[in-house]
Amino acid sequence: MDWEISDYEAARDFVESNEEEIGRAPVVDCGKGLTAVLPLGTPAVGVRFHGAVMLAPIPLFMLCAALVPVFGFSGGWSLSATTLGITFGCALMVLGLARAGRLVLNQRELFPRKFFSTLGKQGIAMHFPFWYFPFSKTRKKAAWGDVASVSPATAFFLPGLLTLQVNLPVFRATTRDGGSVLLFRPGKAAHQEELKRLIESARR
């Protein structure tokens, strides 16, 4: 078995078995030199049937709310207090639905943590479908010896359209051949520093 697959399976088993203890921690020590980096607050999750049924109406309603003012003004709406009020209401609805989507996606029994990155003894790997990052030259894994640099960046994250988070903060591990492996960059400075220390320690 390839090392990135064994790292993923070990990390997934640990995360699923310790969901309550992990809570909102984005950097999870899975033991035996393995760390999982979880993309918290994003739609990067697995979807079970009941979860799909609950989630499906949200993007549909978001699209409808966004199209009302578009078709209204293109169809001859004049600029008035009424049309501005409708536009403002539609914008609030889109933001509210995006917030509702984030809350729904936090239900782990419906949306298990399936996609994340791992830092292991042999290297770094990202366990996401490639279409999640359509404009990034990503690769599945990189041995530590192949990593040339690690720097903060942002990456276009296609599923983020659901929660209005399309520019995902990441750490980009650039390989010597120009490829890259992405790690979710946590929002809190303390978690970012923890992740930097883990990466620097592993590269030595």
Residue range 86-144, pLDDT digits in tens: 889 989 998 888 888 877 777 756 666 788 999 999 999 999 988 889 888 788 899 99
Domain ranges for the chain, please list them. Answer: 3-46+114-203, 49-105
Cα-based distances in Å from 203 to 26, 60, 119, 186:
21, 45, 11, 20
Cβ atoms of 135 and 15 within 8 Å: the answer is no
Instruction: Determine the pLDDT at residue 16.
Output: 86
Cα-based distances in Å from 94 to 57, 62, 90, 97, 191:
12, 5, 6, 5, 30
Residue 4: pLDDT over 80: yes
CATH class of this structure's domain 3-46+114-203: mainly beta
Residue 45: pLDDT over 70: no
Mean pLDDT of 180-204: 90
Say if pTM beats, i.e. exceeds, 0.85: no
Question: What confidence tens digit (pLDDT) does each residue in 144-191 have?
Answer: 999 999 999 999 998 888 888 889 999 999 998 888 999 999 988 999
